[in-house]
Amino acid sequence: MLNEDEITNALKAVKYPGYSRDVVSFGLVKHIAVKDGAVSVRLALTSANAEAARQLKVEGEQVLKSLPGVKSVYVEVTQPQSSPAAGGANPWSQQTKVPGISRIVAVASGKGGVGKSTVSVNLACGLQHLGLKVGLLDCDIYGPSIPLMMGVHEKPTISPEEKMIPPSGHGIKVMSMGLLVDGDQPVIWRGPMIVKTIQQFFSAVEWGLLDYLLVDLPPGTGDAQLTLCQTVPLDGGVIVTTPQEASLGVVRKGIAMFQKVNVPILGIVENMSFFTTPSGERVEIFGHGGGRAEALRQKVSFLGEVPLFTQIREGGDSGVPVVVSGPDKPAGDVFIKIAKALLEKLH
């Protein structure tokens, strides 16, 4: 049975950046919890060196995940806040790490209609297929579609701590405004209500232990996107586009927004790349290769292309994503490959 002493000994392999001493000898390990293979560790740094914190988190997670019996790992690194007078003060200093969630990745697009939610759903299922604990947050307040695509319709329950417990679909925890309103009731809110709701999706939801939380953003660069960047530290953003220039032109604005708020771009996914007719003819309805070319221009990774498959649309309409119904079929396998490409960027 895994215990705290084993965790402590393993952490002795994690050296503080620039020093030969480890985090244990420095007295930086402040909390260790182990239960049913889930390991949670808190490191408290005395400096505001963001790069050191990032490196210690990554190395700590790698070391602990290699231990026999470990199923999931969460390493929290706390730091003193930089003073406003400090030259390197972070304008997004109100960010708060969500306990239990190792990584948060936003899925965004510059414009609507490119299949961003379809990619979010199947990418989440792809990560879950690879053995990770995954959550999916629908931040499209006005037009939530994740509940339909994931086949989740029950409302969240309430914990003794008065937090919402998200329902699960296909092994993935799901939260959406679509689960909080009745039927086709529209959400007619101004910006401040959107901001408050997105903040509560993190502070008032009991997500539990997750390896990844994917956040499906609405199209554009408005209140939802900025609120997310200000509320929690994002590990990166995935940009979804179609090959056509009309989509790629707006993608550049989305990339620029993430860059301005210091969120790394993990890569671009080209959706609706081409269609293959029953006779085998390949038809490039929206053109082809625009996503890969834009990734080269922006000097970011190209995570993959998703052809037009009827099964993808059918999976979204039925609430059984194609990765769940046919992970070994071409339509499902393409998303699993993109999930693997994403993991390579983050490890």
Instruction: Break the chain into its structural domains and give their ranges.
Output: 4-78, 101-346
Q: Supply the mean pLDDT for the chain.
A: 87
The pLDDT of residue 89 is 37
Q: What mean pLDDT is predicted for residues 290-316? A: 93
Q: What mean pLDDT is predicted for residues 308-327? A: 95
Q: How far is CA 6 from CA 33, 38, 62, 70, in A?
A: 11, 13, 15, 11
The pLDDT of residue 336 is 96
Counting residues of the chain whose pLDDT is more than 70, the rounded percentage is: 91
Q: Do domains 4-78 and 101-346 have the same CATH topology?
A: no
Question: Which has the closest alpha carbon to 295: 222, 243, 340, 234?
Answer: 243
Rounded-to-integer distance, Cα 168 and Cα 212, Å: 14
Q: What mean pLDDT is predicted for residues 122-127? A: 97
Q: Are 175 and 138 spatial neighbours (Cβ–Cβ below 8 Å)? A: yes
| Helix (H) or strand (E) run with residue 312 in it | helix 310-318
Question: Which has the closest alpha carbon to 92: 217, 219, 230?
Answer: 230
Amino acid identity at 268: I
Compute φ and ψ for 170, nearest 5 degrees: 55, 35
Reply yes or no on whether the pLDDT at 307 is more than 50.
yes
Report the top-level CATH class of 101-346: alpha beta
pLDDT in tens, 10-62: 999 999 887 777 888 878 898 998 888 889 899 988 767 788 889 999 999 99
Burial tier of 268 (Cβ tally within 10 Å: 0-12, 13-18, 19+) = buried
Tokens 């505001």 sit on residue: 48
| Helix (H) or strand (E) run with residue 39 in it | strand 38-44
pLDDT in tens, 153-208: 999 999 998 899 999 999 999 999 999 887 666 676 666 788 888 889 998 999 99
The pLDDT of residue 96 is 67
Tokens encoding 306: 């998703």
Q: Tell me which architecture the domain covering 4-78 has in CATH.
A: 2-Layer Sandwich (3.30)
Query: What is the Rg, in whole angstroms, of the alpha carbon atoms belonging to the chain?
Result: 21
3-state secondary structure 241-288: ECCCHHHHHHHHHHHHHHHHCCCCEEEEEEECCCEECCCCCEECECEC
Tokens encoding 122: 């199947």
Reply yes or no on whether the pLDDT at 264 is more than 80.
yes
Compute φ and ψ for 4, nearest 5 degrees: -65, -35
Strands, sheet with 172-176, edge to edge from the N-terminal-most edge strand: 168-169, 172-176, 134-138, 210-216, 101-108, 236-241, 265-271, 302-306
Q: What mean pLDDT is predicted for residues 143-153? A: 94
Rounded-to-integer distance, Cα 70 and Cα 117, Å: 32
Q: How far is CA 254 from CA 10, 198, 215, 230, in A?
A: 40, 19, 15, 16
